[in-house]
Homo-oligomer: A and B are copies of this chain.
Amino acid sequence: MVGNVIVGQSGGPTAVINSSLAGVYKTAKDLGAKKVYGMRYGIQGFLEKNIVDMDEKIRSDLDLELLKRTPSAFLGSCRYKLPDICDDKELYEKIFAILEEYQITAFFYIGGNDSMDTIKKLSDYAIIINSDIRFIGVPKTIDNDLAATDHTPGFGSAAKYIASVTKEIIRDGLVYDVKNVAIIEIMGRNAGWLTGAAALARCEDCEGVDLLYLPELPFDVDAFIEKIGELLKKKNSIVVAVSEGIKTADGKYVFELTSHTEYVDSFGHKQLSGTARYLSSLVSEKFGCKSRSIELSTLQRCAGHLTSRVDITEAYQVGGSAVKAAFEGDTGKVVILNRVSNDPYICTTDLYDVHKVANIEKKVPLEWITNDGTYVSDKLVNYIRPLIQAELTPIMITGQPRHIVIDRQ
């Protein structure tokens, strides 16, 4: 397939999303693509023809290596949902006109659920107008909530970060011989995969967190307080991991129980935060002991200084496999990861119909959560463990991780 290809990044950044970009770029060049274009800020920038020639941005093997180790979307990202084709045909005409102008033969979009929706709509439109441009989705999300794929690139590194710093926070809590409660707030709107990763803190050298609340089950504030009371009788330092998205039985977010300024993004997703803060203040009021809330915040998605090598490698592989698929004639597909074996861990890539995954949120199976909803089973731990293995340390310059930036001389 001779011609040019284009690649974009969409949705929330991850620590390894650029490794997928590196995989797309390198494989496309190796397979003979004339030009590899990058769209700035996803489809939103594409619509403004904010398009760059990747050869000008990646000038050496060192650049490519830095790209793999640079967190957050190199090309920039967006949260832009394409309208349905029937609602805005002109927009699709515009997109395909730009694709034609740049002589694009294949379009790659690295993202999560919302991005797969983009691939679905664009590939549908291509069929309607008889275009032979191929559209392939490259999975990415720390949330791990994409259907069909065993897991998503980005999740492993976020899980490794969470599992590692949770151990450090637990150690920190053991320092004083006084009662104290720490509540760690972890990302995950509706799916508890990331919060579940805190369970990996429990190992030979660490007792682990005491309680773990996922958004898959309703959260009972009274039962929580009762649990804390029981634990405080038995031990000094208590650490709890909660998902930012936990809700009470009547469907209210826990953080909504307190006053809070909300921010709603263009997909209508509420920005959640304040869950741990609310629970922490409840605990200190109720028990009069020291209690602190720790929001892992943006670092869980952008901590390039602590990534999983398994994750970063798989992120590269899904990028490369997407290109290979397009060059072999596939379209309207998403690359998925297929776990062949857990022990030893072996994983391959595969292709899946994007229509069957877009807009479906994969949650933690309820049977992987304990009956009282305060911990997870070994099944979840065994599922996550292989994904956090090994490291790809950043290239450290003058004591700090070095990144590659898109606008440089």
A355 sits at the interface (CB 8 A): no
How distant is the Cα of A44 from the Cα of B175 in the complex, in angstroms?
13
Asked if residues B399 and A171 are in contact (CB atoms below 8 Å), the reply is: no
Given contacts A72-B171, A168-B303, contact A400 B13 (CB under 8 A): no
Minimum distance in angstroms from A65 CB to a CB of chain B? 14
Query: In chain A, residues 221-269, which have Cβ atoms closer than 8 Å to a Cβ of chain B?
Result: 261, 263
Contact with B along A22-60 (1 / 0, CB 8 A): 000000000000000000110011000000000000000
Asked if residues A167 and B401 are in contact (CB atoms below 8 Å), the reply is: yes
Given contacts A71-B168, A76-B176, A385-B399, contact A294 B298 (CB under 8 A): yes
Given contacts A203-B400, A400-B163, contact A72 B168 (CB under 8 A): yes
Asked if residues B388 and A399 are in contact (CB atoms below 8 Å), the reply is: yes
How distant is the Cα of A399 from the Cα of B310 in the complex, in angstroms?
10
How distant is the Cα of A250 from the Cα of B189 in the complex, in angstroms?
41
Q: How many residues of A contact B (CB 8 A)?
A: 70
How distant is the Cα of A408 from the Cα of B207 in the complex, in angstroms?
12
Q: Which of A127-135, A318-326, A390-398 contacts B (4 or more CB under 8 A)?
A: A390-398
How distant is the Cα of A177 from the Cα of B79 in the complex, in angstroms?
10
Checking B41, B176, B305 against A164 with a beta-carbon cut-off of 8 angstroms, the contacting residue is B305
How distant is the Cα of A391 from the Cα of B405 in the complex, in angstroms?
23
A348 sits at the interface (CB 8 A): no
Asked if residues B308 and A306 are in contact (CB atoms below 8 Å), the reply is: no
A98 sits at the interface (CB 8 A): no
CB-CB < 8 A to A299: which residues of B?
165, 168-169, 294, 299
Contact with B along A156-177 (1 / 0, CB 8 A): 0000100111011101101111
Query: In chain A, residues 191-214, which have Cβ atoms closer than 8 Å to a Cβ of chain B?
Result: 200-201, 203-206
| Beta-carbon nearest neighbor of A274 in chain B | B277
| Beta-carbon nearest neighbor of A66 in chain B | B205
Asked if residues B401 and A168 are in contact (CB atoms below 8 Å), the reply is: yes
Asked if residues A73 and B163 are in contact (CB atoms below 8 Å), the reply is: no
Asked if residues A163 and B200 are in contact (CB atoms below 8 Å), the reply is: no
How distant is the Cα of A84 from the Cα of B189 in the complex, in angstroms?
54
CB-CB < 8 A to A408: which residues of B?
205
CB-CB < 8 A to A82: which residues of B?
none
Given contacts A71-B171, A398-B389, A399-B163, contact A77 B302 (CB under 8 A): no
CB-CB < 8 A to A160: which residues of B?
399-400
- Residue of A73, A298, A393 with highest tally of chain B CB at under 10 A: A298
Asked if residues A284 and B261 are in contact (CB atoms below 8 Å), the reply is: yes
CB-CB < 8 A to A169: which residues of B?
298-299, 302
CB-CB < 8 A to A261: which residues of B?
281, 284-285
CB-CB < 8 A to A126: which residues of B?
none
Checking B40, B41, B174, B203 against A72 with a beta-carbon cut-off of 8 angstroms, the contacting residue is B174
Asked if residues A13 and B177 are in contact (CB atoms below 8 Å), the reply is: no
Asked if residues B400 and A177 are in contact (CB atoms below 8 Å), the reply is: no
CB-CB < 8 A to A290: which residues of B?
263
Asked if residues B172 and A302 are in contact (CB atoms below 8 Å), the reply is: yes
A217 sits at the interface (CB 8 A): no
Checking B72, B164, B390 against A175 with a beta-carbon cut-off of 8 angstroms, the contacting residue is B72
